Chains A and B, each alone.
Chain A
Amino acid sequence: MPSSDETNSPRPGPRPAPLLTAGMMLAERGIYGMIWVDETLTTVARYGRLVDFVEVGEPLTRELLPLVGLEDEIRALKDSDGRVIELPGIAIVDNKGESPKINISVFWSKDEESFLVVLTRYSSRSDLEVELSRQIRARLMAEAEVMQTSKELAKTNAELARANRDLEEFASIISHDLKAPMRHLRYIVDEIETATEGALSGSAISKLSELRDQSRRMSGMLTSLLEYSSVGRKEEIAEEIDTHGLIHAIIGSMRRTPGFEIEIAGFWPTISTVVAPLDLVLRNLVDNAIKHHDRADGHIRISCADKGDTLLISVEDDGPGIAKDQHAAAFLPFRRLKPGGAEGQGMGLAFVKRWVEAAGGRLDLESDPSLRRGTTMRLQWPKMT
Chain B
Amino acid sequence: MIARKIMMLGEIGVGKSSIVQRLVFDRFDFNYKPTIGVDVYRYDLPPRPGREAMSLIVWDTDGNFGEAIFRHVYMREASAAFIVGDLSRRNTLDSMAKLGAGFREALPGRHITFLLNKVDLVEAALRMEVPEPLVPFAAPVVTTSAKTGENVQQSFIDSADAIIRRDQ
Residues of A within 8 A of B (CB): 61, 65-66, 68-70, 73, 85-95, 99, 101, 122, 125, 130, 133-134, 137-138, 140-141, 144-145, 147-148
Contacts and interface: CB of A to CB of B under 8 A. Distances in A.
B58 to A, nearest CB: 9
B57 A65 contact: yes
Main secondary structure of the interface of A (DSSP, over half): mixed
Given A140-B12, A145-B89, A148-B90, A73 B5 contact: no
Given A61-B3, A69-B4, A93 B39 contact: yes
Main secondary structure of the interface of B (DSSP, over half): mixed
In the complex, which range does the number of interface residues on chain B fall in?
Answer: 20 to 34
A89 B4 contact: no
B52 to A, nearest CB: 16
B40 A66 contact: yes
Contacts of B90: 148
A144 B90 CA distance: 9
* 8 interchain residue pairs of minimum CB distance: A89-B37, A69-B77, A69-B5, A68-B57, A141-B13, A68-B3, A65-B40, A91-B39
B78 interface: yes
A86 B32 CA distance: 29
Contact of A144 (B32, B60, B74, B91): B91
A156 to B, nearest CB: 14
A111 to B, nearest CB: 26
Nearest to B12: A137
Interface in B78-96: 78-79, 89-92
A91 B5 CA distance: 15
B76 interface: yes
A87 B32 CA distance: 25
Given A69-B79, A70-B77, A90 B37 contact: yes
Nearest to B13: A141
A134 B89 contact: no
Contacts of B60: 93
A145 B13 CA distance: 12
Interface in B58-112: 59-60, 63-64, 73-74, 76-79, 89-92
B15 to A, nearest CB: 11
Given A69-B57, A134-B32, A93 B78 contact: no
B57 A137 contact: no
A145 B73 CA distance: 31
A65 B40 CA distance: 7
5 contacts: A65-B40, A65-B41, A66-B38, A130-B33, A130-B36
A144 B34 CA distance: 17
Contacts of B63: 137
A130 B62 CA distance: 12
A42 B64 CA distance: 35
Nearest to A145: B89
Contacts of A140: 12
Nearest to B90: A148
A68 B12 CA distance: 25
Contacts of A99: 39
Contact of B32 (A70, A90, A95, A137): A137
Given A69-B79, A134-B32, A137-B13, A92 B73 contact: no
A90 B40 contact: yes
B59 to A, nearest CB: 8
B37 A122 contact: yes
Contact of A134 (B34, B73, B91, B92): B34
B4 A91 contact: no
Interface in B23-39: 24-25, 32-34, 36-39
Contact of A125 (B36, B74, B77): B36
Given A69-B5, A140-B12, 14 more contacts: A61-B3, A66-B40, A69-B3, A69-B77, A70-B76, A87-B74, A89-B36, A90-B39, A91-B39, A93-B24, A122-B37, A125-B36, A137-B32, A137-B64
